[in-house]
Amino acid sequence: MIRPLVLALALVSFATAQTGANHPDFLSAVRCGDCHSAAESANALWNGTGDDVSPYTLWRASLKANAFRDPFWRAQVSFEVHTQPDRRAEIEGLCITCHAPIAHHRARHAGARADSIEALLGDELAQEGVSCTVCHQARPDGLGTPATYGGALDVRPDGVIWGPFADPSGGPMIGQTGYTPLHGPHVRDAGLCGSCHVLKTSHAPGQAAFPEQTPFLEWRNSRYSDPVSGAAKTCQECHMPAQPPMKIARNPGGFDFNIPQRDDPRGHAFVGGNAFMLDLMRRNHKELGMKAPGELLKRAARASRQFLATKTATLAIEDAEFVEGTLAFGVRVTNETGHKLPTGLPARRAWLRVLVRRGADVLFSSGAFGEDGRLAGATDELGFPHHDVIEDPSQVQVYELIAHDAAGAPTTELTRMAVRAKDNRLLPHGWREDGPDAADTAPVGLGDDVDFEAGQDVVRYRVKVGAGEGTVSIVAWFLYQPVPPAWVAAMRGVDTEECKRFVRMYDGADKTPDTLALTVKILE
């Protein structure tokens, strides 16, 4: 008798809501989860191996859901406000736009501006980060154009929820929330992601904008944005894993709606390059006020590491030969992503770890790292040049963006960045010098490296091995670090609670880099 009673109550609720329910501008993701989470007594939103792949469950353990709670972001903002107190409202308002977009758009609808993080600390809705009713209320107008960059989505308080499937069953959503679902194929448009993943900052009024992050522009100037290339993929197709056909909602009472299955639903896991932060937040769960259970955060970190290890890069050792006591070989690293590698926040870096042995004896080692995350022997973590040829163990090929401020000094402050002094991050396949936005995405600081090409780079190694007998092995790793020590070092000693908190959490974290690719070659 329980299910009929629940059904009756649900129908009464549905009928009552339909007769005059008012919708709020935004709704908590918890309310969306009433229907878009899995339930033990419903078949909807479980995959074939019994895993909960519902939008709400996957989202709540993602960096999107935790964009406001992210302690690195909070520390970075407080650091920059600490050094530029007269720019507090400007800096915090800029960052709130994409890290607390509900607060941003709610203020915009009221003709105001959300420019204080402190004012949002008690606002549960604002702290939901990139929540359901931000992305799914965004209209298609201007997507993929400068009009919507920097988080300037056209989000309107008109009670419409856009979804990717045609002919949505509107009654349940209207009854439960007051929102009306409509078919909006634009939610699978890369331009929706591009709104926040194109951000330009200015170090001073009237000065040229600095391309702080440009994943969408990098993608647009690649084969992955070309529908005739045979390789076209949107952001969503890579970062939102495909799921089997299923019903995409269930009744709040815990049983299945009489709705059709949908083909190609996408998992709202948003897998990507920040498993390190997911682990750090899980280990500091209570202090950070995390809403997702620790097991979900662990699962999300595992999924991101699996993604990093299988979908981002490949390595190959080429043309290995001995010439008069020297072993010469090339290491080719290929970018398999749809943007630069690494991409996004300028903090992120990747590098080649190369080890040459004869038997158990180490002949050459480049790119080793310590428990503190620093590269072995490095005296200046922001001073690695680009290399075409490496002959000394102290030389390391680090793929990264290094920015200088207006005075020409390296900086980790996003709002002081004025020029790209080095940007040798791997380009995506199909990138062209005459392609769109090339001025903002072109490599910088390559010197005369002629084999740094769209989609790949080859680094030539010259290792003195001398005379000797026995098998020589070459092992190469492509390693990745989303939060390098230099960015944390800049915060040490900064007297803000956010900086002190993050430095403490970082020092207690496992700073082992993620392995994107690995290859081995044995020479007899």
**Mean pLDDT of the chain, nearest integer:** 94
Residues 391, 376, 441, 233: is their CA dihedral positive or negative?
A: positive
Q: Are residues 342 and 400 in the same domain?
A: yes
Q: Model confidence at 1, in pLDDT bands (50, 70, 90)?
A: very low
Q: Are residues 518 and 385 in the same domain?
A: yes
Does position 57 have pLDDT exceeding 50, yes or no? yes
Q: State the pLDDT at residue 469.
A: 82
Neighbours of 451 (CB within 10 A): 12
HSE (CB half, 13 Å, CA atoms) of 357?
11
- pLDDT tens-digit map of 401-447: 999 999 999 999 999 999 999 999 999 999 999 999 999 999 999 99
SS3 of 328, please?
strand
Q: Are residues 32 and 163 in the same domain?
A: yes
Q: Over range 371-383, report the average pLDDT.
A: 96
Does position 190 have pLDDT exceeding 70, yes or no? yes
Q: State the pLDDT at residue 524.
A: 83
Q: Identify the burial level of 522 via C-beta atoms within 10 angstroms of its C-beta, where 0-12 means exposed, 13-18 middle and 19 or more buried.
A: exposed
HSE (CB half, 13 Å, CA atoms) of 338?
22
Domain membership flag for residue 302: no
Q: What are the two backbone dihedrals, phi and then psi, of residue 227, each rounded to the nearest 5 degrees?
A: -65, -15
- pLDDT tens-digit map of 467-502: 878 899 999 999 999 999 999 999 999 999 999 999
Boundary (domain end) residue, out of 269, 294, 329:
269
Q: Are residues 344 and 255 in the same domain?
A: no
Domain membership flag for residue 307: no
Does position 4 have pLDDT exceeding 90, yes or no? no
Task: Identify which of 259, 300, 266 has the alpha carbon closest to the alpha carbon of residue 281.
Answer: 300
Boundary (domain end) residue, out of 269, 295, 326:
269
SS3 of 367, please?
coil
Q: Are residues 12 and 149 in the same domain?
A: yes
Domain membership flag for residue 278: no
Quote the distance between the C-alpha of residue 74 and its chain's center.
Answer: 16
Domain membership flag for residue 104: no
Q: State the pLDDT at residue 35.
A: 98
Boundary (domain end) residue, out of 269, 285, 320:
269
Domain membership flag for residue 476: yes
Q: State the pLDDT at residue 411.
A: 98
Domain membership flag for residue 81: no
For residues 480 and 308, is the Cβ–Cβ distance under 8 A? yes
CA of 233: how far to CAs of 133, 222, 371, 413, in Å? 25, 10, 37, 33
Residues in the chain, overall count: 524
Q: Model confidence at 206, in pLDDT bands (50, 70, 90)?
A: confident
Element (H, E) at 210: strand 210-213
Q: Are residues 137 and 30 in the same domain?
A: yes
Name residue, tokens 């009929």.
4
Cα(250)–Cα(331) distance, integer angstroms: 51
DSSP label of 334:
E
Domain membership flag for residue 279: no
Q: Over range 343-352, report the average pLDDT.
A: 98
Q: Are residues 325 and 449 in the same domain?
A: yes
Q: Model confidence at 466, in pLDDT bands (50, 70, 90)?
A: confident
Q: State the pLDDT at residue 7.
A: 40
Q: Are residues 259 and 320 in the same domain?
A: no
**Dihedral (C-alpha) 239, 242, 243, 245: value to the nearest 10 degrees?**
140
Q: Identify the burial level of 233 via C-beta atoms within 10 angstroms of its C-beta, where 0-12 means exposed, 13-18 middle and 19 or more buried.
A: middle
Look up residue 465 and give its amino acid: V
Domain membership flag for residue 100: no
The β-bridge relationship of strands 326-335 and 361-366 is unpaired
Q: Over range 229-249, report the average pLDDT.
A: 97
Q: State the pLDDT at residue 61.
A: 98
Q: Model confidence at 45, in pLDDT bands (50, 70, 90)?
A: very high
SS3 of 103, please?
helix
Does position 213 have pLDDT exceeding 60, yes or no? yes
Task: Identify which of 281, 105, 117 has the alpha carbon closest to the alpha carbon of residue 196.
Answer: 105
Does position 22 have pLDDT exceeding 50, yes or no? no
Listed in sequence order, the residues at least 6 apart from 42 whose beta carbon sits closer than 8 Å to its beta carbon are 250, 251, 254, 255, 256
Q: Model confidence at 16, in pLDDT bands (50, 70, 90)?
A: very low
- Spell out a b/e string for 327-352, using b for 16 or more CB atoms within 10 Å of the CB, else e: bebbbbbbbbbbbbbbbbbbbbbbbb
Cα(114)–Cα(120) distance, integer angstroms: 9
Peptide bond into 168 cis (omega under 30): no
Which residues is 441 bridged to in the sheet? Answer: none
Name residue, tokens 């004025």.
418
Task: Identify which of 256, 246, 183, 187 has the alpha carbon closest to the alpha carbon of residue 35.
Answer: 256
Q: Are residues 162 and 225 in the same domain?
A: yes
Residues 400, 406, 408, 412: is their CA dihedral positive or negative?
A: negative
Q: Are residues 35 and 164 in the same domain?
A: yes
Q: Over range 265-278, report the average pLDDT.
A: 98
Q: Model confidence at 287, in pLDDT bands (50, 70, 90)?
A: very high
DSSP label of 234:
-
End-to-end CA distance of the chain: 76
Task: Identify which of 191, 91, 176, 174 has the alpha carbon closest to the alpha carbon of residue 138.
Answer: 191
For residues 312 and 337, is the Cβ–Cβ distance under 8 A? yes
Does position 13 have pLDDT exceeding 70, yes or no? no
Q: Over range 286-297, report the average pLDDT.
A: 98
Does position 30 have pLDDT exceeding 60, yes or no? yes
- pLDDT tens-digit map of 437-463: 999 999 999 999 999 999 999 999 999
Cα(185)–Cα(508) distance, integer angstroms: 44
SS3 of 79, please?
helix
For residues 43 and 247, is the Cβ–Cβ distance under 8 A? yes
Q: Over range 111-125, report the average pLDDT.
A: 96
Number of domains in the chain: 2
Q: What is the CA radius of gyration of the chain?
A: 25
Cα(203)–Cα(8) distance, integer angstroms: 60
Q: Are residues 321 and 263 in the same domain?
A: no
Q: Are residues 252 and 170 in the same domain?
A: yes
**pLDDT over 90 percentage in the chain:** 92
Range of the domain at 196: 2-67+130-269
